[in-house]
Amino acid sequence: MNENTKDAKLIILDRDGVINQDSDDYIKSVEEWIPIPGSLEAIARLNHAGYRVIVATNQSGLGRGYFDIDTLNAIHNRMQQKLAALGAQIEAIFLCPHTPNTHCRCRKPLPGLLEDIAERLRTDLTGIPMIGDSLKDIQVATAVGASPSLVLTGKGQSAAEKHRDDLTGVPIYQDLSTAVDALLAG
């Protein structure tokens, strides 16, 4: 671990259902990427409080052929432009493009994507906050020693109802904005 990353505050966010609205039909175009109210402002508050914001997202729509890498890059560019207007940014976006049947190690809930983040940032993820909207997000955070939180946006409400026993001790928040308020207050 290098000295610069040791003292930096880091947070990992899932994308769909946490930052932007989710869809069972996938987010396949820039027009379909719609931020959840308050989420971009929450990321701005994190940045202004000294947090490096990283996104870890499964994007199997890429592997399924629902969109191509240029479209995904355009979606992420739109997200970054909207954040820049608020004086904010996402430092890096790590994604798994694979479908579930490829059995890769980078598809959440397996830890490969987060292990890649730790390796590339030369940091330990123990205790690092991770906010997601699914049991997979909670499981992957736990697998690498990160500190998971669940938001009720996206698939979060369903996850909270279906997996109540698996979420014992996991903080649950209405949305990213309230999760960030709690993190910054604590």
Residue listed under structure tokens 């940032």: 121
Which candidate in 7, 16, 25, 68 is catalytic?
A: 16
CA 69 to centroid of chain Cα atoms: 19
Which candidate in 14, 22, 133, 175 is catalytic?
A: 14
16 catalytic? Reply is: yes
3-state secondary structure of 166: helix
Number of residues assigned to the chain: 186
14 catalytic? Reply is: yes
Rounded-to-integer distance, Cα 114 and Cα 7, Å: 19
Q: Taking a C-beta distance cutoff of 8 angstroms, is the pair 114, 12 a contact?
A: yes
Residue listed under structure tokens 């399924």: 64
* Angle, helix 112-121 to helix 135-143, in steps of 10 degrees: 50
Known catalytic residues are 14, 16
